[in-house]
Amino acid sequence: MHEKDRHRVILSAVQDRSLVTVIDLCSLTGASEATIRRDIHTLDDQKRLRRVRGGAEAITSKPFVGLAGRPFSVNETMNIAEKQAIAAAAVEMCDDGEPIIINGGTTTFQMVHPLASRRVQVFTNSFPIAEHLLKNTQNTVMLSGGIIYREQNIILSPFDNDVTRNFYAKRMFMGAQGIGPLGLMEQDPLLIQAEQKLIGQAEELIVLVDSSKFENRSSLVLCPLERIDTIITDEGIDDRTAAMLEAADVSLIVVPIGATQKDGMAS
């Protein structure tokens, strides 16, 4: 991750949680402790945050409650070839006219390009997905209601009686922070609450994750492996992980990296 991107992640994190540790920032950026300490020193000199023992804090109070995790703008630049190939395979599962749910995320966002050749009914909680589909495709689009979280570009509702309960989907396509033996993992309780409502509206759950997500862990489990019907990932998945998914009766689709470029479907 470039310095500019690290600085954006660090500033986002301190506005989200007010006080973050060096270890937290290493986890969010993938950078070393020495690099993060230099970044904090630089941002402190620029008066953009305040350096404290073991981490950093916001200079001003946060304007709104945010979500844990990296911003959409940072995530979308990571593992882009894998995400495009995975998304193209996901769209191959869609039939014209059927209702689907696509949750907000940078891997699921890549579905918008191959969806330009389809006409389906899409329910999403993602601003970027909805905007692109409306401007560039003939698909029907419905947005969920709730609070807009700017950094993740998603809409989440804390209420049970939102429009989500009125939409039925043949399939739901979603990403995840990580996947392990206990199931799908995310970092934020509000995100988990919203995603669980969406999952309940779909017959099939299709998870789109690049192979790096099998190494990620979080303290919060979104749903067990047994709830997942299919996982689409890239060739980086190892045999042990594939065996774990098979034992949970999860169908596995492995796509070659760069498949979308070969087919002329890259954005």
Report whether 198 contacts 172 (CB < 8 A): yes
Query: pLDDT tens digits, residue range 167-181?
Result: 899 999 999 888 999
Q: Which of 155, 83, 150 is nearest to 123 (CA)?
A: 155
**What is the 8-class DSSP label of residue 192?**
H
pTM of the shown model: 0.69
pLDDT band at 251 (very low <50, low <70, confident <90, very high): very high
Q: Is the dihedral of CA 119, 100, 94, 81 positive or negative?
A: positive
Query: pLDDT tens digits, residue range 111-166?
Result: 999 999 899 999 999 988 999 999 999 999 999 887 777 666 778 776 666 677 78
Query: pLDDT tens digits, residue range 29-87?
Result: 899 999 999 999 999 999 999 999 999 988 875 444 455 555 554 455 567 889 989 99
Q: Which of 228, 236, 230, 227 is nearest to 255 (CA)?
A: 236
Query: pLDDT tens digits, residue range 205-236?
Result: 999 999 989 988 777 899 999 999 999 999 99
% pLDDT > 90, the chain: 53
Tokens of 242: 């594939």
Measure the CA–CA gap between 109 and 116, rounded to whole angstroms: 12
Cα of first residue to Cα of last residue in the chain, in angstroms, is 22
**Average pLDDT, integer, range 7-21:** 81
- Sequence letter at residue 141: V
Measure the CA–CA gap between 151 and 16, rounded to whole angstroms: 10
